[in-house]
Structure 1
């Protein structure tokens, strides 16, 4: 499928390509810059020109739902603003923040208070998101506020019908599930009751529709979406981690996924070891093992960034692999963290998708705004 000529003309004149964020059977999403009447701004482009023919009808339906929802939510300040929309492509504003599963706002009660307020504003406008179980659809802004993104499944209602109330209830319940994960002590008795009771529609969906959906998407379409990592992150990464750890010179490894313009989804292995020349040895060992495809990138690091429990901070490694370097700064807790990460950034392998606003991002003093 191709983008219509009028869409293509607009994008050619106003869009500057940047970092590929995601590519699947429903769309290609990338971050770049868009020229508006008031000047150039950061934006996110969703386009359908690389969607396979067999999923195009569904992709176009999802695209239309997002376009309508973003149009209605334009002035709510709870999600990205719609900057431009064509027939098979749209550009929404970029929100300066990281996805919930990357930011991990443990104990941040203020964040979940703002999330609830954002959801209330969305529902008052007659919009239900319908896909808030995914942590990647919740953003933690640099300002600490909650924002919503990816409105492909959103539904717009003209009245507060029974269906609207059910959808709104499920939106809230999914938000509270995230609150339970990150700030359980802040849950109120009323919120705990909501968590304990699914709507009848949700219960039926889990027992019937979801199973059919998974059978079609995973069985027929071979599509699995795990924070954009797909089947390679779900199936291949654990096997590769086990193979890499068998090398006696490897202390530990972490594998994350990144969007790749050539293969769709690539894998990036960060290997904790002392020998920088170990990469070639590991590639030979993985090739000899056959089976799963080796990672597109293997980077040897002296130490992996770790949290207080000693687990690798894959949320930071994910952003390194995706070249979203400017989003790492809010996650740094000290100058020591910045210095520690500097070597990893300087030696990173995935340099095809680079955004020039990354320059000197990690050298900015803590607390200084962009």
Structure 2
């Protein structure tokens, strides 16, 4: 990749392909270098931020650019190409999100700890590792870390730096506990279970206010919350379908509509056809309803909403990575993919 990049790249050299995420502060777009479609890039676009979010979005962008500059050269961190008031341009990280890769070998977690250790040596903490999608597993099995929007750069090894560094490690230990519990050491188990004092205070007070503002007032449409409509529809469907004799499972998910906005996609495990299932649902109904005799489940019977979300958002390329590690799911997933109802990506 590096040998294909010119010595100097600016945001005007970016050719957009698909919008991956949009919120009030920015828009994350996957694209490529103009004239070189094989060179994949990612842009955090600030040009279309609404007026009421511009000041904060610019502050967050400066914070992210500073952190990315500080970690340049650390293997497994994004390569920064350009940053200005229009956005932040970096090389695309070609990995599989942690919740899909579900790494079970020690090499990944050793490499992830190495990344955090190298970052701490440069005074950088990530501060957003509760989200498994911020960890990627590269094609060669190495760890990669993305989304430095909330990262911070510390001049001194202050109390704040040590607490934030500990929380980064704690969240990594929790991910290891979730996806590779057989590798977890006693010390890591203790770290995973022990929140710092600021984290406990945040969980008891500040997080509630944060969720109210982002989910109810700002109606964020990313992984942090799908808005009031999602919650109300989810609860109404659960009350209606939960004990129905013809329904053995269901999952309600969000998917991006073309242009802007978010739709609701319902998977129903049943022998009923979509029209018959729709009759059972309360108004207002989800935008898309797909029925199937079987939905993918985990070993304990829990529905695999991570895989269903990829189908709902038409990210079928990412399903290939999941099927490599879990080929037994192919029999269930392939009919679902073939019959999927959302056939468009969200383009500019």
Q: Is the 8 A contact 1:23 1:259 kept in 2?
A: no
1:105-132 Cα distance to aligned partner (Å, 9 max, x none) = 4x44332222211211222222110111
- Alpha-carbon distance change, 295 to 192 in structure 1, aligned in 2, over 3 angstroms: same
Alpha-carbon RMSD across the aligned residues, in angstroms, is: 3.1
Q: In structure 2, what is the equivalent of residue 280 of structure 1?
A: 275
Instruction: Indicate the residue corresponding to 2:261 in structure 1.
Output: 264
| Alpha carbons of structure 1 residues 209 and 136: separation in structure 2 relative to 1, 3 Å | same
Greater alpha carbon shift after TM alignment, 222-231 vs 186-195: 222-231
CA distance, structure 1, for counterparts of residue 95 and residue 197 of structure 2:
35
Aligned twin of 1:127: 124
Distance 1:313 1:212, change over 3 A: closer
Look up the SS of the partner of 2:30 in the other structure. strand
Separation (CA, whole Å) in 2 of partners of 1:97 and 1:231: 32
C-alpha displacement at 1:348, in angstroms? 1.5
Q: Work out whether residues 71 and 122 of structure 2, in 8 Å CA contact, stay in contact via their aligned partners in 1.
A: yes
- Inter-partner Cα distance in structure 1 for 2:74 and 2:186: 29
**Are 1:160 and 2:157 matched, yes or no?**
yes
Partners in 1 of 2:193 and 2:267 — Cα distance? Answer: 40
C-alpha separation between the residues in 1 aligned to 2:238 and 2:294?
A: 16
Gaps of 5+ in 2: 1-9
The one of 76, 81, 90 equivalent to 1:92 is 90
Shift of 1:218: 4.0
Contact 1:97 1:327 in 2 (8 A): no
1:198 corresponds to which of 195, 199, 220 = 195
> Distance in 1 between the 2:13 and 2:223 partners?
34
Deviation at 1:87, TM superposition (A): 1.2
Matched, 1:33 2:32: yes
Residue matched to 1:139: 136
Aligned residue number for residue 14 of structure 1: 14
Name the structure 2 match of 1:322: 313
* Mapped pair 1:348 → 2:348: no
CA contact (8 A) 1:305 1:341 kept: yes
Cα displacement string for residues 89-148 of structure 1 (whole angstroms, at most 9, x for unaligned residues): 22333223332233334x443322222112112222221101112222222333322222
Change beyond 3 A, Cα 1:243–1:52 = farther
Q: Aligned runs of 1:27-66 on 2, under 5 Å?
A: 27-35=26-34, 40-66=38-64
Matched residue SS, 1:169: helix
Matched residue of 2:34: which SS? strand
Q: How many residue pairs were aligned?
A: 337
CA drift at 1:353: 0.6
Task: Return the offset for 1:238.
Answer: 3.8
Preserved CA contact (<8 Å) 1:226 1:234? no
CA contact (8 A) 1:78 1:122 kept: no
Q: Is the 8 A contact 1:65 1:152 kept in 2?
A: yes
C-alpha contact (below 8 Å) 2:125/2:168 kept by paired residues = yes
The 1-side partners of 2:151 and 2:137 are apart by: 20
TM-score, with length taken from structure 2: 0.82
Aligned partner of 1:175 in structure 2 is: 172
Deviations along 1:220-254, one digit per CA (max 9) or x if unpaired, are 43447645645454443343344456766544322
Instruction: Please list every run of 5 or more consecutive structure 1 residues that lacks an aligned counterpart in the other structure.
Output: 1-9, 356-370
1:361 is aligned to: none
Contact 1:108–1:182 (8 Å) recurs in 2: no
Whole-angstrom CA distance in 2 between matches of 1:162 and 1:213: 24
Give the conservation status (yes or no) of the 8 Å contact 2:265–2:289.
yes
